Amino acid sequence: MNRSWVRRWLRKDGIAAIPFLAPSLAGFCLFFAVPLAMSFYYSFFDRVTDGTFVGLGNYRELLGSSSFRKATGNTLLFSGVGVPLLILLSLGLALLFNRQLWLKSAMKTAVVLPLVVPIASIVMITQIFIDWNGVLNAWLYRLDLPRVDWLNSDGAWTVILLIYVWKNIGYNMILFLAGLQTIPRSYYETARMEGAGSIRQFWGITLVYLTPTLFFVVLISLVNSFKVFRETYLLAGAYPYDRLYMIQHYMNNMFFSLDIQKLSTAAILMVGFIVILMSGLLKIEHRFLENIE
């Protein structure tokens, strides 16, 4: 039965879909699949050309590198703090905008506006505020407080975290708001008739039926947390303050030093970690939905 259906699909829809899928498949293979396969291959050799097979030697050397461990720790810390904070704030805004509010459209526009702001503009505005002669230090000077070199202090991590939240909160809020609007209002009316309060309704109805959206937002937020390298690089350069030195900085520096082996090894470890994490989240979501059904 299944085999006959596959044959019919290949004879009809499959053949018709090939010309439309070919450009995307070619681009995926050229820019993603082939480079990833080459990186996996190079991670087992000591040189790109005429290299000697070293097995897991590059992986042992990389895991023993203090700079790689620092970059990995900073990246995990940033994602571990930034993603939950972003989820909580965006979900809170979605719950707020799901009600009838005065100036609701204007406030939603203000929250979503960062989505269309270019990265260069974000960096320029940030520099105006946190520069040595910037707005924040001018305020500190007027209050007779010492100036702070924000990008070379522990405050640099907070600056990047705020940029990450500000840039992505609007997109996550839209996704949560779309998920909230799919929940039938009759569920809440029934819960109120049975005496359930707001907190009980949130945990028993809102959060349960918002779970598929929540998992998707978590995945998107994790991916976006790795993209914060763009802002960090433009603000602090290739060798920023220790708290800002991410795994992408390490890979970028290995690229400029032409250390392809360490670059390839770091890329494979990063991809492997992301794949394992995403697979785990998707598996948890699948089990949760099965329990609901």
pLDDT tens by residue, 125-138: 888 888 888 888 88
87 in a structural domain = yes
Range(s) of the domain holding residue 153: 64-292
pLDDT tens by residue, 162-220: 889 988 998 898 899 888 888 888 888 888 887 777 788 888 878 888 888 888 899 88
Q: How far apart are CA 56 and CA 1, in angstroms?
A: 46
Torsions phi, psi for 268 (to 5 deg): -65, -40
pLDDT of residue 1: 47
247 in a structural domain = yes
Q: How far apart are CA 235 and CA 151, in angstroms?
A: 8
Least confident of 45-49, 58-62, 120-124, 263-267: 45-49
131 in a structural domain = yes
On the question of pLDDT at 105 being above 50, the answer is yes
Q: How far apart are CA 140 and CA 150, in angstroms?
A: 12
Per the structure, how many domains does the chain have? 1
| CATH number assigned to the domain comprising residue 190 | 1.10.3720.10
pLDDT of residue 32: 85
245 in a structural domain = yes
47 in a structural domain = no
27 in a structural domain = no
Q: How far apart are CA 99 and CA 247, in angstroms?
A: 41
198 in a structural domain = yes
pLDDT tens by residue, 258-285: 888 888 888 888 888 888 888 888 888 7
Q: How far apart are CA 225 and CA 235, in angstroms?
A: 16
| Cβ atoms 183, 206 nearer than 8 A | yes
6 in a structural domain = no
* Residues counted in the chain: 293
Q: How far apart are CA 218 and CA 207, in angstroms?
A: 14
Output the average pLDDT for the chain: 83
Helix (H, G, I), strand (E, B), or coil: what is residue 71?
A: helix
